[in-house]
Amino acid sequence: MSVDKAELCGSLLTWLQTFQVPYPCASPQDLNSGLAIARVLNQIDSSWFNEAWLKGISEDPGPNWRLKISKLEKILQSLVEYWQDVLGHPVLEQHLPDVSLIGEFSDPSELGKLLQLVLGCAISCEKKQEHIQRIMTLEESVQHVVMEAIQELMTKDIPDTPSPETYGNFDTQSRRYYFLSEEAEEGDELQQHCLDLERQLMLLSEEKQSLVQENAALREQMGRPEVEGAPGLTTKKLLLLQSQLEQLQEENFRLESSREDERLHCMELEREVTELQQRNQALTSLAQEAQALKDEMDELRQSSERAGQLEATLNSCRQRLGELRELRRQVRQLEERNAGHAERTRQLEDELRRAGSLRAQLETQRRQVQELQGQWQEEAMKAEKWLFECQNLEEKYESVTKEKERLLTERDSLREANEELRCAQLQPRGLTQTDPLPDPTPSGLENLAAEILPAELRETLLRLQLENKRLCQQEAADRERQEELQRHLEEANRARHGLETQHRLNQQQLLELRAQVEDLQKALQEQGGKTEDPILLKRKLEEHLQKLHEADLELQRKREYIEELEPPTDSNTARRIEELQDNLQKKDADLRAMEERYRRYVDKARKVIQTLEPKQQLPVRAPLELQALKTQLRERDVRIRHLEMDFEKSRSQREQEEKLLISAWYSMGMALDHWSGEERAPAHAQSFLAQQRLATNARRGPPGRLTSLSLRPADKH
């Protein structure tokens, strides 16, 4: 199969790029000078393509295509000599590239042939494993093309197989000897020896054929005019080939003589094999007769053993006959008893049919009761939700009413403070000013009061105004934060209320289940000897466990949400936590008592089931399942106790947080009131009467708003 040389050129260019050479190898134009190919050959086999050879090619020819062709001819000549002398394979004419097309036009097809010879050197040199591993690192398509090129090169380099006349009759004799010596053990060594001789003969014939072809090529080359500049090299090569030919002819003569000796030895061995086969046939006939006698002895032995077995069987049949009479009598008794049991079975089937209809009605009523209970729980949840919303609205209404009253009181106090402040501003004016025509309007009074104030007092008023603005902004921020905390508190209260409602419903459901267990126990006791299916009780327990598991998951989610809303506790709540822990311990004791009662109920139910089915052995797994159910119930109770403890802790933390917020707001208000009173009433600037008035104003209203009202005339001025 021939490979497209243009496609082969592209793949081999990719392969050449794996070598570390100082010249580019990306396109055919980069290789038309031969420098990169020479460097690659030096890396492949540095002993043949040595540094001295590399120096003769390392000069850059530039754009001169004749120098490029000369260098490519040197590279091709070295490649052909390497193939013939080192690898021992002549290069066929169809694999020799036209270097003139490569040097002048950078022909990809001819360059592909040249690179194919380089590839053959790489995979046949001493470092072939390294180069094969390098080929395996390429892409799959490139590997495929390279492998096809190697196969084409190898298949066409192998010479044609010699004709059968070259072997003479040795092949036929060796095959005949192989089939004759197949049965004898001594023939294996002879067969292997013949195969080795045949293989050596084939190799020698191949070498002889290649030498004949090479000799013909050399004679043809000698007939043509010698290439200028290389007559001495051709003469040396011819002498070397003649000496090799003489050595090979001597070796061929020696092998021919050894072949004749082996042929005589083979004939002797054939005669021995024939004698051994005749002897083997005689021994085989004797062995067959002995085997026939042995088979007859085995048959007689088996017959005697069978006779003994038949006698024993006859005795056992006599015994079984007596047993059969006894069994027939027992069968008649069992048939009579079976008829009575069949009648009893029909009666029980009738009772079971009636019980099945009653059980279906009971299941229907139970499902209806469960649906009604679910609806009742939903309505109860809605009622609790609306009740909680109503309480929140009432609390908001009360807080709004209180805020309204506080604002009305603050408005009245601010009005009084404004009037007193105006009086205080008009008194100094009446004492110091003697203008007979004052402005009777309020704006004139305000401007006049602002003008008669001293500079120090105006600065103080301006500073107080700025401080008032800052306090107002801080109050607004605190109010927003308080609203946000209030909103979080309402959400936490709503979640807490939902958890309490869910817990109360779970308790009610637990009580209902206990009542159902008691009712079931009473019904079972009333029925007495009637059978009852224990699957019903097991189903109830599974439904109860499923509901408890869902309730635990809901409580866990709500507890995580409450923990996100809650702030960390401080050391002041330790006493309250201890009290709550005592309460929780009491509740734990109550829950343990309830659990003990529930366990007693379950044990009683199990005993009743066992008494109702005395003949049916319960499987071993039933107590294990009951034990697993008990374990799950205990784990559920423990989780409920933990959730209740966490809920009580969170509630106490919220109460402490509310108290701390109220006390902090009150302390901050008192501190700001006191600080603003001291700032606004310096002792050296006002009289005793003015100080008393300022103290009265501070007690009546907030300092921030009073300061803003007192500074309005100054702002207008």
Instruction: Kindly report, residue by residue over 20-48, the tens digit of the pLDDT.
Output: 888 888 888 888 888 888 888 888 888 88
Cα–Cα distances in Å, from 192 out to 177, 181, 188, 224, 510? 11, 11, 6, 48, 93
Cα–Cα distance, 583 to 172 (Å, whole number): 112
Q: Tell me how far apart the alpha carbons of residues 696 and 674 are, in angstroms, rounded to a whole number.
A: 12
pLDDT of residue 559: 61
In a domain, 75, yes or no: yes
Q: Residue 716: its pLDDT value, please?
A: 37
Contacts of 304 (CB under 8 A, 6+ apart): none
Dmax (CA) of the chain: 173
Q: Which residue has the higher pLDDT, 198 or 450?
A: 198
pLDDT average, residue stretch 635-654: 79
Q: Is 526 or 80 the better-scoring residue by pLDDT?
A: 80
Name the residue with higher pLDDT: 438 or 81. 81
- Residue 502 sits at φ, ψ, to 5 deg, of -65, -40
Whether the per-residue pLDDT at 176 is higher than 70: the answer is: no
- Which region holds residue 381: left if phi is over 0, alpha if psi is between -120 and 50, else beta? alpha
Structure tokens at 418: 């404004």
Residue 52 CA: distances (Å) to CA of 33, 48, 58, 234: 18, 10, 10, 21
For Cα atoms 485, 491, 492, give the angle at the middle one, nearest 5 degrees. 85
| 669 located within any domain | yes
Q: Rounded mean pLDDT of the chain?
A: 73
Note down the domain range covering 543: 439-528+535-612+619-709
pLDDT band at 715 (very low <50, low <70, confident <90, very high): very low
- For residue range 392-443, what is the model confidence (pLDDT) as tens digits? 888 888 888 888 888 888 888 888 877 777 777 666 555 444 444 444 444 4
pLDDT tops 60 at residue 681: no
Q: Give the Cα separation of 270 and 250 in Å (integer).
A: 30
Last residue of a domain, one of 132, 158, 184: 158
Helix %, strand %, coil % for the chain, to 5?
85, 0, 15
Please tell me the predicted confidence (pLDDT) of residue 347: 83
**Range among 321-335, 371-385, 539-553 rated most confident:** 321-335
Q: Are 203 and 161 in contact (CB under 8 A)?
A: no
CB 137 within 8 A of CB 18: yes
Q: If pLDDT is split at 50, 70 and 90, which confidence band does 506 have?
A: confident
Long-range contacts, 443-446 (Cβ 8 Å, 24+): 443/716, 446/712, 446/713, 446/716, 446/717
Whether pLDDT at 711 is above 50: no
152 falls in which pLDDT band (50, 70, 90)? confident
**Spatial separation of the C-alpha atoms in residues 163 and 167, rounded to whole Å:** 8
CA–CA separation, 578 vs 576, rounded Å? 5
Q: How confident is the model at residue 3 (pLDDT cuts 50, 70, 90)?
A: low
pLDDT of residue 471: 79
| Residue 532: per-residue pLDDT | 44
Q: Is 246 part of any domain?
A: no
In order of 301, 304, 307, 317, 322, the CA distances from 310 in angstroms are 15, 10, 5, 10, 19
pLDDT for residue 410: 81
Look at residues 414, 417, 81 and name the one whose alpha carbon lies nearest to residue 236. 81
Residue 426 within any structural domain of the chain: no
In order of 505, 514, 686, the CA distances from 508 in angstroms are: 5, 10, 73
Is residue 290 one of the residues assigned to a domain?
no
pLDDT at 706: 38
How would residue 622 be classed by pLDDT, with cut points 50, 70 and 90? very low
625 SS3 class: helix
Q: What is the pLDDT of residue 442?
A: 42
| CATH number for 12 | 1.10.418.10
Establish if 513 belongs to a structural domain: yes
pLDDT of 489: 77
Least confident of 288-292, 395-399, 453-457, 512-516: 453-457
Question: How many Å separate Cα 354 from the centre of its chain?
Answer: 57
**Overall number of domains in the chain:** 2
Q: Do the Cβ atoms of 156 and 95 come closer than 8 Å?
A: yes
Domain boundary among 116, 133, 158: 158
Q: Look at residue 570 and tell me if it is in a domain.
A: yes
Please tell me the predicted confidence (pLDDT) of residue 445.
41
The pLDDT assigned to 609 comes to 67
- The model's confidence at residue 569, banded by pLDDT at 50, 70 and 90, is very low
Q: Would the pLDDT of 703 be above 50?
A: no
CB atoms within 10 A of CB 701: 20
The pLDDT of residue 170: 35
**Token representation of residue 217:** 């090529």
Comparison of pLDDT for 658 and 609, the residue scoring more? 658
Domain presence at residue 684: yes
- Among 129, 158, 187, residue at a domain's last position: 158
DSSP structural state of residue 571: G
Say yes or no to pLDDT of 331 above 50.
Answer: yes
Alpha-carbon distance of 641 to 552, in angstroms, equals 11
